[in-house]
């Protein structure tokens, strides 16, 4: 299959390299020093699964790539306004566009450019970082994508989703194809927006946040705020979606930091608008109070643009 990776950083670069090494035709869309490094030295992956260097095709101008079978969108959500127009030259009559970005807004952003019929949604579970231009470091071995349709008939796994799933599985990417991808997207959002909000506002990893009984209770209350929004929007998330948070958090290292906290500590832009901001806006539209999410948003939005703010 032919792939274009829109957002060839830590996440997209890792998955694109796997696909390229499996024999697929992959174009990496990048810019700046990362683009130059990939062109000069290839894309290096350092991982417990093995260190590899892959010779790749890297482009800045998507019109030089042309239509592909699959566009994998993995840019940070705050770059959507600039990145989404780059999709148009990659579209053909049978192109699918799969976004694995954080938050719940990006499927609509993609559909505004590609059309609902071409749009797929998903979530990813992976710990990677762009250490230096052209070098991606993976910690742990998780490399999972859960994806499927988000518009139209959501009663079954479609043929195109099955084909993409097979291609990814053949590239040693852990994949799960689902009929209604809105469910895993929102279930992750309920946890991630809460985790990112509390760890970011506290400037602490998850361990100390979870260890304090009062803070832990407010954490779960915030997750319930988002759950109420999901149900009001007609998303059939699991009945125990909040109850599952406790056992999950207790099973991960207390030193774990959300990507928002990491970016915040480095003075980078943060995805506050796609996470806490989206919760507040959706709650206001539906008439659902979100006092905890609104407080986290008020604290974090002042750092939306990073150190330059």
Average pLDDT rounded to a whole number, residues 256-269: 93
In this structure, are residues 113 and 84 in contact, taking their beta carbons and an 8 Å threshold?
yes
- Whole-angstrom CA distances from 131 to 28, 47, 51, 76, 109 are 17, 12, 14, 17, 29
Give residue 139's pLDDT.
Answer: 87
Evaluate if residue 308 carries a pLDDT over 70: no
Give residue 222's pLDDT.
Answer: 98
Model confidence pLDDT, tens digit, residues 143-194: 999 999 999 999 999 999 999 999 999 999 999 999 999 999 999 999 999 9
What mean pLDDT is reported for the chain? 96
Model confidence pLDDT, tens digit, residues 20-37: 999 999 999 999 999 999
Model confidence pLDDT, tens digit, residues 52-85: 999 999 999 999 999 999 999 999 999 999 999 9
Give the Cα separation of 89 and 46 in Å (integer). Answer: 32
Lowest pLDDT segment from 36-40, 67-71, 89-93, 256-260? 256-260
Nearest-CA neighbor of 210 among 228, 194, 226? 194
Model confidence pLDDT, tens digit, residues 191-221: 999 999 999 999 999 999 999 999 999 999 9
| Confidence band of 309 (pLDDT split at 50, 70, 90) | very low
Instruction: Count how many residues are written for the chain.
Output: 309
* Domains of the chain by start residue, with CATH: 2-180 (3.40.50.720), 183-308 (1.10.1040.10)
Give residue 202's pLDDT.
Answer: 97
């Amino acid at each position: 299959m032919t792939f274009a990776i829109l957002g060839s950083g830590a996440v997209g670069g890792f998955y694109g390299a796997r696909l390229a090494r499996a024999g697929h035709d992959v174009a990496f869309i990048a810019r700046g020093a990362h683009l130059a490094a990939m062109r000069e030295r290839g894309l290096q992956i350092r991982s417990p699964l093995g260190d590899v260097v892959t010779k790749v095709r890297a482009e800045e101008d998507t019109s030089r790539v042309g239509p592909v079978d699959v566009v994998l969108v993995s840019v940070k959500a705050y770059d959507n306004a600039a990145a989404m127009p780059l999709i148009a030259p990659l579209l053909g009559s049978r192109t699918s566009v799969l976004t694995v970005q954080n938050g719940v807004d990006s499927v609509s952003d993609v559909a505004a450019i590609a059309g609902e019929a071409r749009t797929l949604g998903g979530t990813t579970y992976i710990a990677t970082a762009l250490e230096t231009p052209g070098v991606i470091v993976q910690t742990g071995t998780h490399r999972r994508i859960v994806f499927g349709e988000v518009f139209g008939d959501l009663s079954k796994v479609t043929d195109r989703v099955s084909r993409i799933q097979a291609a990814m599985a053949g590239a040693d990417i852990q994949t799960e194809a689902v009929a209604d991808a809105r469910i895993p997207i929102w279930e992750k959002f309920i946890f991630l927006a809460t985790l990112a909000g509390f760890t970011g506002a506290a400037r602490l990893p998850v361990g100390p946040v979870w260890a304090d009984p009062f803070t832990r209770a407010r954490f779960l209350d915030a997750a319930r705020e988002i759950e109420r929004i999901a149900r009001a929007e007609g998303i059939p998330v699991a009945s125990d979606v909040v109850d599952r948070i406790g056992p999950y958090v207790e099973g991960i290292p207390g030193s774990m930091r959300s990507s928002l906290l990491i970016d915040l500590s480095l003075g980078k832009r943060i995805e506050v608008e796609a996470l806490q901001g989206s919760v507040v806006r959706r709650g206001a539209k539906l008439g659902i109070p979100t006092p905890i999410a609104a407080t986290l948003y008020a604290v974090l939005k002042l750092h939306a643009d990073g150190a330059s703010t």
